[in-house]
Structure 1
Amino acid sequence: MAPPSPLLAVRASDGTILLRGPPSCDQHFAFNRDSGSSRCITFSRDGSMFCWSNGRSVSVVKSSDSSVLLTFDLPKTSLLDFSPLGRVLVTWQPYSKTQDSPQGDPNLQLWDVQTGQLIKALYQKKVDSWCPTWSDDEGICVRSVNNELHFYENNDFNSIANKLHMQKVSDYVLSPGGQPSKVVVYVPGSKGAPSFVRLYQYPVLGGPTAALANKSFFKADRVTMQWNKKASAVLVTASTEVDKTGASYYGEQTLHYLAVNGETALVQLPKNGPIYDVVWSPNSSEFCVVYGFMPAKATVYNLKCDPVFDFGTGPRNAAYYSPQGHILVLAGFGNLRGQMEVWDVKKYKQVSKPQAPDATHFSWCPDGEHIVTATCSPRLRVSNGYKIWHYTGSVLHKWDVAEGSELWEVRWQPFPDGSFPERAVRYQAAPSELGSTQTPPTQAYRPPALRHLPATPSAKLHEEEPPQNLRPGLAGPGLSKAALKNQKKREAKKAAKQEVKPEPPSDPAPVSNNSQSEPSSGDPETDKKIKNLKKKLKAIEELKEQQAAGRVLQKNQLEKMQKEEQLLKELQELQIGQ
């Protein structure tokens, strides 16, 4: 029996609703809109339950028929989550003190979903890592308390089964899956000591010798740690707030790999610049990294941290694998124009290139066929709304908020793994009354004074790199004929530069900036000066060409051009003296 269409929960200033997923995209017949100002929403891990807080109470209903399971009088609740098997509901409200309670009241509650009884009330002042983390079978639960980790077993929160205490554990991530559970922890550096990440297997939580893997680094103010689905390896993105070289506004990032077998590596990224996104493939054997100064590169790596496929450069800062792992979307959101590149990962062939301008949210539907993009407040307070797409670029459903209202959140109903089988990738756009938003071809900007003149080829601000397969002995599938032709041209040009062709010595003559090899003077210092002068003269020639094409030069560039005569004179004197 095919699973039902996934639900889409929509939280807005005018209430909370549930929609039937694509292709119908209509309101769930059994769920009555809650017109209250909803603070948060969540589904259970298997999608069977839906929970929300409307500022008056917290309600839990069945997703299928919206029958009420539980209601809690918790008006201040602002965060919600379920344990993996849906046995425990976690609610959190901001910590506060009063005259009657100078120590404050416990603000983190764990509720038994079966009975509605309170299991445990705890203090959790910080919103970071507010929710305890469970193993998939709920045999182990971990919570960060005062820079140490507390482990509970079988949802018994009255006794701590184990502890991991080190010099200020700042962050942790519990492995997905069942037993044996593993945990990766981060300890920031201090007083000249490096930061480090260690990987342990529960219940062996001793010192460094008990760690399955250990990685230390000096450049890390914070880290992001991600397990793959099989819990065999972790990717750690280490970030500094400030790049001391001044090269990047975003600070400095490095990417590290740790495996449970003890292997560690620094992932080598061939382009300088920030790391925007790192994401594991659902098959756990590959990961994609989006990195480098704009236009950014995107590359897929294997578990040996060797590059497998390079998507070239483009305006992107995020990557999203489909739940089945057969499709990858590279996107440029935030301060970029919302371009999405949809790729068939098995063939490494581009499927579509739609645009979702001003999108602040992107997520895959569990069926691996549809996606939702949304413009939500407070990230953007104008043009709030969402679109449901087919991955081929067709817009199937569109909704814009009414004037004076705001969209706050959209969330797909999750389903257990294997609920939706992988389908063959389609390249023809799915039928839709709303059409598609394929990216139109862009043209270079031309000043108004030059628009009546015929177009002339001009130098590009950035050299665009086409996609290429990096597996040894394989040509890049998915490359167009033009891209392959350009790639061959670049390789031929590179090979030509490496060839050294001897030239007969010539008499001193006016400088020629296009010469590939020059006679030697016999004095390395003189040769070096000649080379530098020719380099400066060549740069001046390029500035002249740009000025002739109508480009307005900056003050320092004009000053550089004024030095041409002086440089020519110096060069001639050096060549005469040879």
Structure 2
Amino acid sequence: MSDLATTQFSYRSQKELTIWSGYPAYKPIKGFEKPETTTRIFKYSKYGHVYAYATSEGAKVFEASSLKQRCEIKRINLLDLWLSPQGSFMATWERYTKLEDGSGAKNLNIWDTETGELIASFVQKAQNNWTLTLGESWLGTSNGPKMKSTALGWYPVKSSFGKAETSAKGAPAIVRMYSIPSFASPVSNKTFFKADNVQMFWNDLGTNLLVLTQTEVDKTGKSYYGETNLYYLAVAGNFDCRVPLDKEGSIHDVTWAPDSKEFAVVYGSMPAKATLFDHRANPIHHFGISPRNFVRFNPQGRTICIAGFGNLNGTIDLWDRKTLKKVNTFAAPNASHCEWSPCGRYLMTATLTPRLRVDNGFKMWHHTGTLIYEEAVEELFQVGWRPEPASKYPAMRTISPAPKPIKVLPSAKPVVTNTAPAGAYRPPHMRGGAAPTSLADLEAMMNRGQSPSHRRQVPGAKGKSSASPAKSAPPPQEAKPAPVSNLTPEEKQKKIRNLEKKLRQINDLKEKASKGDALEPAQVQKLATEATVLRELATLK
């Protein structure tokens, strides 16, 4: 399959909504009439047949392939929308209002996308904390993510769905799976004794379900974020188990392989561990321990992306599933969105508003880790590929060489092409010559012969003193931890809790620094102790 097959993606910014072609053009598609007002949301249907967007004036629905308009729905309070998998129907949510008689207006509406005809209407007060799943012949809703006495959510795949519920506070949670439309009795169920919240992850075939449970409080005191567990359930009811995770800490991400026979999990206190499991939840391969919290297979299942976003520094590892060898490691600093193209050859990363309001835009990386294209977009809110069947783009027999880059902005940093340790963590605002905010940053710059006053200027920002905060920060004194063998179990757990608290504070400081906020000398000193805290925590655990 040639890389010349055209893919499609859309992005929404403060100024415009546009639809682009993918490799090799990377330019707006002609014939799409952009809305004149700010767009609130856009969606592709699950199989990519239909595209829709909403503005303050209503919604428009299009054939995704030709961009021919299907229908227009005029509703001034419309804020959200959903499409059925084939795009035959659309659900819209409007701001809740009361009628003169005190009853609520029906603000959740179902429309026929071919004719624009209103099919059904319901009352749904809140925009958040509930779920909606729209099929071609049925609709599933829930009241919220907290499991009180109502359903958590409906997660249908073909002819199955799961429902989670509890009967009272303190009672065990129950996940029941049903075959649509037989709702009289579940085909399978599982009870969980530690679950305040539940997330469900179906495989594409609808044969197996991963259930991620979380408690609001970890009664053992090991984690500030509560206790998480992962369970594997077969719809047939003939097999279930707890997924064996051999590193304590939170579960950061879970994903199924496209063939529905394998899944990957990133878990454990930072630095986290990533593991590949088979269809019976047996570990196949460990990808190592590193600061990562994201994992995705490409649509053909050949390449696996394992990355660290959010408070982490945006490092991305690409692995070849066939050989289980690392293809490349590179960095996408400040990325808040990551998604494989339908062809499986390109990985999109993007920096979005409101997480970061500077350096917004998107980048396209070849599956070898080479940056092919990037575009700066002011106030970028949303970006996403048009879904297409993986069968349209057959799996690669070998990892193909990267094509020549099409557009790389002058500010782009060289791709990291080796897997050797890159040295001390450098916050995003430090990359590109900004002023150091830790002694390690200052020392690294001096070793390269750079002046600490060399820093990147943000357009429109007022000038700041060239003196680095690190100059006034005394060198951090690396405390020698007491031998673990001399600690009682109670003292050990207390020390672990204190160290985890310090790590949370350090992560908060990293987040603050990444936004360009100045750090006090004491805060810089605390940042510089991260490696020490991690080492001591690893020793205790």
Q: TM-score, normalised by structure 1?
A: 0.69
- Deviation at 1:101? 5.5
Alpha-carbon distance in structure 2 between the residues aligned to 1:35 and 1:439: 43
Question: Structure 1 residues 112 and 353, CA, compared in 2 at 3 Å: closer, same or farther?
Answer: same
Q: 1:260 aligns with which of 235, 240, 243?
A: 235
Residue type matched to 1:442 in 2? Answer: A
Verify: 1:319 aligned to 2:300, yes or no.
Answer: no
Describe the superposition over 1:296-342 as per-residue Cα deviations: whole angstroms up to 9, x where unpaired: 10001112211000001011001011111111100100000000111
Q: Given that residues 111 and 119 in structure 2 are in contact (C-alpha distance below 8 angstroms), is that contact kept between their aligned partners in structure 1?
A: yes
User: 1:172 maps to what in 2?
Assistant: 153
User: 1:219 maps to what in 2?
Assistant: 194
Verify: 1:202 aligned to 2:180, yes or no.
Answer: yes
User: 1:107 maps to what in 2?
Assistant: 107
Q: TM-score, normalised by structure 2?
A: 0.73
Q: Given that residues 337 and 351 in structure 2 are in contact (C-alpha distance below 8 angstroms), is that contact kept between their aligned partners in structure 1?
A: yes
Alpha-carbon distance in structure 2 between the residues aligned to 1:242 and 1:60: 44
Alpha-carbon distance in structure 2 between the residues aligned to 1:101 and 1:363: 47
User: 2:496 maps to what in 1?
Assistant: none
Q: Given that residues 275 and 290 in structure 1 are in contact (C-alpha distance below 8 angstroms), is that contact kept between their aligned partners in structure 2?
A: yes
User: 1:234 maps to what in 2?
Assistant: 209
Question: Structure 1 residues 192 and 91, CA, compared in 2 at 3 Å: closer, same or farther?
Answer: closer
Root-mean-square deviation over aligned CA pairs = 3.2
Alpha-carbon distance in structure 2 between the residues aligned to 1:16 and 1:432: 25
- Secondary structure of 1:426's counterpart equals coil
Percent identity, aligned pairs only? 35
Residue type matched to 2:228 in 1? Answer: Q
- Secondary structure of 1:398's counterpart equals strand
Alpha-carbon distance in structure 2 between the residues aligned to 1:451 and 1:4: 48
Residue type matched to 1:389 in 2? Answer: W
Describe the superposition over 1:418-473 as per-residue Cα deviations: whole angstroms up to 9, x where unpaired: 2221123426443215385226742359968x979xx9xxxxxxxxxxxxxxxxxx
User: 1:424 maps to what in 2?
Assistant: 397
Total equivalences in the alignment = 431
- Deviation at 1:267? 0.8
- Deviation at 1:217? 1.8
Alpha-carbon distance in structure 1 between the residues aligned to 2:383 and 2:217: 34
User: 1:132 maps to what in 2?
Assistant: 133
Q: Which has the larger radius of gyration?
A: 1
User: 2:320 maps to what in 1?
Assistant: 344
Alpha-carbon distance in structure 2 between the residues aligned to 1:146 and 1:427: 45
Q: 2:140 aligns with which of 142, 156, 169?
A: 142
Q: Given that residues 43 and 413 in structure 1 are in contact (C-alpha distance below 8 angstroms), is that contact kept between their aligned partners in structure 2?
A: yes
User: 2:55 maps to what in 1?
Assistant: 54
Alpha-carbon distance in structure 1 between the residues aligned to 2:487 and 2:63: 76
Q: 1:411 aligns with which of 376, 380, 384?
A: 384
User: 1:566 maps to what in 2?
Assistant: none
Residue type matched to 1:173 in 2? Answer: W
Question: Structure 1 residues 229 and 31, CA, compared in 2 at 3 Å: closer, same or farther?
Answer: same
- Deviation at 1:213? 2.3
Alpha-carbon distance in structure 1 between the residues aligned to 2:397 and 2:227: 40
User: 2:415 maps to what in 1?
Assistant: 437
Match runs of 1:343-382 below 5 Å: 343-382=319-358
Describe the superposition over 1:533-570 as per-residue Cα deviations: whole angstroms up to 9, x where unpaired: 799xxxxxxxxxxxxxxx999xxx9xxxxxxxxxxxxx
User: 1:122 maps to what in 2?
Assistant: 122
Alpha-carbon distance in structure 2 between the residues aligned to 1:444 and 1:9: 37
- Deviation at 1:75? 2.3
In the alignment, structure 2 segments of 5+ residues that lack a partner are 426-437, 448-483, 489-525, 534-541
User: 2:224 maps to what in 1?
Assistant: 249
Describe the superposition over 1:9-45 as per-residue Cα deviations: whole angstroms up to 9, x where unpaired: 1100001011111221011111133342100101233
Q: Given that residues 9 and 17 in structure 1 are in contact (C-alpha distance below 8 angstroms), is that contact kept between their aligned partners in structure 2?
A: yes
Q: Given that residues 250 and 269 in structure 2 are in contact (C-alpha distance below 8 angstroms), is that contact kept between their aligned partners in structure 1?
A: yes
Describe the superposition over 1:188-208 as per-residue Cα deviations: whole angstroms up to 9, x where unpaired: 3524421111222234433xx
- Deviation at 1:130? 4.3
Q: Given that residues 76 and 93 in structure 1 are in contact (C-alpha distance below 8 angstroms), is that contact kept between their aligned partners in structure 2?
A: yes
Alpha-carbon distance in structure 2 between the residues aligned to 1:260 and 1:443: 47
Describe the superposition over 1:249-276 as per-residue Cα deviations: whole angstroms up to 9, x where unpaired: 3221000111022111011101101000
User: 1:94 maps to what in 2?
Assistant: 95
Residue type matched to 2:423 in 1? Answer: Q
Q: 1:269 aligns with which of 231, 242, 245?
A: 245
Q: Given that residues 6 and 21 in structure 1 are in contact (C-alpha distance below 8 angstroms), is that contact kept between their aligned partners in structure 2?
A: yes
Q: Given that residues 41 and 53 in structure 1 are in contact (C-alpha distance below 8 angstroms), is that contact kept between their aligned partners in structure 2?
A: yes
Deviates most, 407-416 or 72-81? 72-81
User: 2:30 maps to what in 1?
Assistant: 29
- Deviation at 1:401? 2.6
Residue type matched to 1:168 in 2? Answer: S
Question: Structure 1 residues 46 and 284, CA, compared in 2 at 3 Å: closer, same or farther?
Answer: closer
Alpha-carbon distance in structure 2 between the residues aligned to 1:334 and 1:71: 37
- Deviation at 1:106? 0.7
Alpha-carbon distance in structure 1 between the residues aligned to 2:362 and 2:256: 26
- Deviation at 1:416? 3.1
Question: Structure 1 residues 101 and 383, CA, compared in 2 at 3 Å: closer, same or farther?
Answer: farther
- Deviation at 1:5? 1.4
Q: Given that residues 140 and 154 in structure 2 are in contact (C-alpha distance below 8 angstroms), is that contact kept between their aligned partners in structure 1?
A: no
Residue type matched to 1:443 in 2? Answer: G
Alpha-carbon distance in structure 1 between the residues aligned to 2:487 and 2:183: 63
- Secondary structure of 2:314's counterpart equals coil
Q: Given that residues 70 and 115 in structure 2 are in contact (C-alpha distance below 8 angstroms), is that contact kept between their aligned partners in structure 1?
A: no
4+ residue runs over 4 A deviation: 1-4, 444-448, 531-535
Alpha-carbon distance in structure 2 between the residues aligned to 1:63 and 1:444: 46
Alpha-carbon distance in structure 2 between the residues aligned to 1:365 and 1:146: 31
- Secondary structure of 1:132's counterpart equals strand
- Secondary structure of 1:171's counterpart equals coil
Alpha-carbon distance in structure 1 between the residues aligned to 2:367 and 2:101: 54
In the alignment, structure 1 segments of 5+ residues that lack a partner are 148-165, 456-530, 536-550, 558-578
Alpha-carbon distance in structure 2 between the residues aligned to 1:368 and 1:71: 33
Match runs of 1:454-533 below 5 Å: none
Question: Structure 1 residues 427 and 355, CA, compared in 2 at 3 Å: closer, same or farther?
Answer: farther
